[in-house]
Amino acid sequence: MTNPRILLEHYEIVPKKSLGQNFLHDPNALEKIATIAEIMPQDTVLEIGPGTGALTEVLAQRARHVIAVEVDTRLQPLLEARLGVYDNVVLMFADILETDVLKLVGSKPFSVVANLPYYITSAILRHLLENYRRPQKLVLTVQEEVAQRLVARPDDMSLLTVSVQFYGKARIAMKLNPAVFWPRPDVDSAVVVIETYDRPSINVPSSEAFFKVVRAGFSQKRKQLKNALGSGLGLSHEAAAGLLERAGIDPRRRAETVTLEEWAALTRVVG
């Protein structure tokens, strides 16, 4: 019994919209995601949101260890029954945002596989990427709109884009039709791969200093940078314009047009 609708009915579980529960069940899509993740027999995989355990099973057949973290405790009997035959799977029922990831995975390198609801994507990415020891790779199923933001180029950048591209290289690996989920979502989805860098690809005094400047720049996205930066850093617009000019950035530009290298230059000027 692997059909998610039948499984959930058996356990008298109704999917919660508040948790963004759309369960991936298509066997071909599940195998493709595991293949994209390039899971090897010695690997440790952290799965966020195993749901009904369909992808967890596929991962368990490929990886040495799978640690699956699920926030919805209603799914505990279902997951324990389905995954109990796998001695390489550890189930944890907790909020990933309140979990010490490094304690979970230990000292070995690890990858993340996750089906992330829209409302929590940014928070989970920050939680994972801002750790001093980041996952080597993240394979994320997200709304296609979010996927496009993760891989955006200048002229369409966002705070989320800059955050992800500071820590790694993102690409869209494949798109998913709503029919591969149950309940069927109203939007298309995509699988994004983020391969993290050992260290940030740009030269900045610290990640804290960098993101302080970037957050200030995006604090008033529709305004010119001199206005947004000034307000965000508590400077006059004239002082902010001077910093931007020293960094080689036209103060009249908007944050979505600024490249990662330009943010780094501005961070070094701000000091």
Same domain, 82 and 214: no
Share of the chain above pLDDT 90, in %: 93
Report the distance separating Cα 83 and Cα 54, nearest Å: 9
Q: Please check whether residue 223 lies inside any domain of the structure.
A: yes
Report the distance separating Cα 270 and Cα 266, nearest Å: 6
Read off the pLDDT of residues 159-206 as tens digits, 9 standing for 90 and up. Answer: 999 999 999 999 999 999 999 999 999 999 999 999 999 988 899 999
pLDDT at 1: 53
Read off the pLDDT of residues 28-60 as tens digits, 9 standing for 90 and up. Answer: 999 999 999 999 999 999 999 999 999 999 999
CB atoms within 10 A of CB 178: 14
Report the distance separating Cα 194 and Cα 139, nearest Å: 7
Separation in Å, CA 2 to CA 24, 53, 54, 57, 70:
11, 9, 7, 11, 18
Task: Sheet with 137-143: list strands edge to edge.
Answer: 89-93, 65-70, 44-48, 111-115, 137-143, 189-196, 168-176
Same domain, 151 and 256: no
Report the distance separating Cα 4 and Cα 106, nearest Å: 32
Same domain, 16 and 129: yes
pLDDT at 205: 94
Task: Check pLDDT > 90 for residue 271.
Answer: no
Domains in the chain, number: 2
Same domain, 192 and 215: no
Q: Please check whether residue 201 lies inside any domain of the structure.
A: no
**Domain final position from 196, 225, 256:** 196
Per the omega criterion (within 30 degrees of 0), is the bond before 27 cis?
A: no
Q: Which is more confidently placed, 131 or 28?
A: 28
Residue 11 — pLDDT band, cuts 50, 70, 90? very high
**Domain final position from 137, 172, 196:** 196
Q: Which domain holds residue 250?
A: 207-270
Same domain, 85 and 164: yes
Q: Please check whether residue 202 lies inside any domain of the structure.
A: no
The CATH number of whichever domain residue 226 belongs to comes to 1.10.8.100
pLDDT at 171: 98
The CATH number of whichever domain residue 118 belongs to comes to 3.40.50.150
**Domain final position from 138, 167, 196:** 196
Read off the pLDDT of residues 196-255 as tens digits, 9 standing for 90 and up. Answer: 999 888 999 999 999 999 999 999 978 999 999 999 999 999 999 999 999 999 999 999
- Token pair 């957050």 in the structure block, residue: 215
pLDDT at 143: 96
Mean pLDDT of 71-94: 98
> How far out from the chain centre does Cα 7 lie?
28
Spell out the residues 6+ positions from residue 83 whose beta carbon is closer than 8 angstroms to its own: 53, 56, 57, 60, 68, 89, 91
CB atoms within 10 A of CB 117: 19
Q: Please check whether residue 179 lies inside any domain of the structure.
A: yes
Q: Please check whether residue 80 lies inside any domain of the structure.
A: yes
| 3-class secondary-structure state, position 142 | strand
